[in-house]
Amino acid sequence: MTVSPDVEPDREKVFHTLVEVITEILPAVPADRVSGHLRLADLGADSVDRVEIVMGVLDRLGLDAPMAAFATVPDLDAMADLLTDLLTRPLADPPREGSKP
Amino acid sequence: MTDTVGIEALNVYCGTASITVPALFAARGLDPARMANLAMTARSVALPCEDPVTHAVNAARPLLAAIGPEAAARIEVLVTSTESGIDYSKSVASYVHEHLGLSPRCRVVEVKQACYAATAALQLGAGYLASGISPDAKVLVIATDVALVDQDAYYTEPAMGTGAAAVLLSTEPHVLTLDPGAFGLHSFQTLDSARPGPTFDIADSDRSLFAYLDCLSNSFRAYTERVEGADFAETFDYLAFHTPFAGMVRAAHRKMTREFAKDRLAAVDDDFAARVAPALVYPAQVGNLCSGSVYLALASLLDNGDVADGARVGLYSYGSGCAAEFFSGVADADSAAAVGRMRIREQLDARVELEFAEYGDLLPANRLCLVPDPDRRVDVDDHRAILDRYGLRRDLLLYTGTKDYGRTYEWATAGEGSNPWPTS
Q: Using DSSP bridges, classify how beta strands B138-145 and B75-81 pair: parallel, antiparallel or unpaired.
A: parallel
**Is residue A9 in a domain?**
no
Same domain (yes/no): B218, B279: yes
pLDDT, position B186 = 98
In a domain, B418, yes or no: no
User: Has residue B36 been placed in a domain?
Assistant: yes
Across B6-21, average pLDDT: 98
Same-domain status, B252 and B364? no
pLDDT of residue B417: 81
Per-residue pLDDT tens digits for B85-143: 999 999 999 999 999 999 999 999 999 999 999 999 999 999 999 999 999 999 999 99
All residues at 6 or more sequence positions from B266 whose CB lies less than 8 Å from its CB, including other chains: none
Establish if A59 touches chain B: CB-CB under 8 angstroms.
yes
Residue B420 has pLDDT above 90, yes or no: no
Among residues B330, B352, B380, the one where a domain terminates is B330
Percent of chain B with pLDDT over 70: 99
Q: Examine the pLDDT at B47 and tell me if it is beyond 80.
A: yes
Task: Specify the pTM.
Answer: 0.95
Q: Does B154 touch chain A (CB under 8 A)?
A: no
C-alpha distances out from residue B328 to B74, B239, B291, B302, Å? 25, 9, 17, 14
Tell me, yes or no, whether A58 lies in a domain: yes
Q: Please identify every residue of B annotated as catalytic.
A: 83, 115, 242
Query: With 50 as the cut, is the pLDDT of residue A95 above it?
Result: no
Tell me the percentage of chain A whose pLDDT exceeds 90.
75
Query: Which residues of B, range 103-142, sit inside 8 Å of A by Cβ?
Result: none
Residue A7 lies in a domain: no
**Chain-chain contact of A97 with B248 (C-beta, under 8 angstroms):** no
Sign of CA dihedral B205, B210, B212, B213: positive
Domain boundary among B287, B302, B330: B330
Q: What is the pLDDT of residue A97?
A: 47
Instruction: Answer whether A47 sits within 8 Å of B187, measured CB to CB.
Output: no
Decide if pLDDT at B18 tops 70.
Answer: yes
What's the confidence (pLDDT) of residue B112? Answer: 98
Task: Give a yes or no: residue A98 inside a domain.
Answer: no
Residue-level pLDDT at A100: 41
Mutate: best of B35, B209, B262, partner A, most A CBs <10 A: B209
Q: Is residue B423 part of a domain?
A: no
Is position B424 within any domain? Answer: no
Domain end call among B330, B361, B385 = B330
Residue A94 lies in a domain: no
Q: Indicate the average pLDDT of chain A.
A: 85
The answer, yes or no, to whether residue B54 has pLDDT greater than 70, is: yes
Asked whether the predicted pLDDT for residue B301 surpasses 50, the reply is yes
B233 band by pLDDT with thresholds 50, 70 and 90: very high
**Cis, bond preceding B322 (omega within 30 deg of 0):** yes
Residue B62 lies in a domain: yes
Q: Is A51 in contact with B210 (Cβ distance < 8 A)?
A: yes
Is A6 part of a structural domain of the chain? no
Residues B356 and B398 in one domain: yes
Domain with B197 in it: 180-330
Confidence of residue A1 (pLDDT cuts 50, 70, 90): very low
Range of the domain at A46: 15-88
For residue B256, the model assigns a pLDDT of: 97
Interface test with B, best of A46, A60, A70, A72 (most B CBs within 10 A): A46
Does the beta-carbon distance from A71 to B206 stay under 8 Å?
A: yes
Q: Check whether residue B28 and residue B103 sit in a common domain.
A: yes
Residue A21 lies in a domain: yes
Say if residue B86 is in the same domain as residue B197: no
User: Does a structural domain hold residue A38?
Assistant: yes
Asked if A75 has any chain B CB less than 8 Å from its own CB, the reply is: no
Interval B290-300: pLDDT, tens: 999 999 999 99
User: B294: domain CATH number?
Assistant: 3.40.47.10
pLDDT at B43: 98
pLDDT recorded at residue A90 = 59
- Kindly state whether A27 is in contact with chain B, defined as any CB-CB distance less than 8 angstroms: no
B391 in a domain, yes or no?
A: yes
Q: Across the interface, do B211 and A54 touch by the CB < 8 Å criterion? A: no
Please tell me whether residues B284 and B382 are part of one structural domain. no
**pLDDT tens per residue across span A30-66:** 999 999 999 999 999 999 999 999 999 999 999 999 9
| A66 contact B CB<8A | yes
DSSP A8-36: HHHHHHHHHHHHHHHHHHSTTS-GGG--T
Q: Look at A97 and B24; give whichever has higher pLDDT.
A: B24
Average confidence (pLDDT) over B11-24: 98
pLDDT cut 90: percent of chain B above it: 97
Report chain B's mean pLDDT, rounded to a whole number: 97
- Count the neighbouring beta carbons within 10 Å of the beta carbon of residue B261: 16
Flag whether B355 is in a domain. Answer: yes
Rounded to the nearest angstrom, the gap between the alpha carbon of residue B177 and the centroid of all alpha carbons in its chain is: 19
| Residue A101 pLDDT | 38
**For position B192, what pLDDT does the model report?**
95
pLDDT(A87) > 80? yes
* Total tally of structural domains belonging to chain B: 2
Claim to verify: residue B60 and residue B165 sit in the same structural domain: yes
Q: What's residue A9's pLDDT? A: 55
Tell me the C-alpha distance between B160 and B359, whole Å. Answer: 14
Q: How many separate domains does chain A show?
A: 1
Q: With a cut of 60, say whether residue A92 has pLDDT above it.
A: no
Q: What is the CATH number of the domain that holds A25?
A: 1.10.1200.10
Q: Are residues B35 and B134 in the same domain?
A: yes
Q: Do B382 and B48 form a contact (C-beta atoms < 8 A)? A: yes
Structure confidence at residue B424 as a pLDDT band (50, 70, 90) = very low
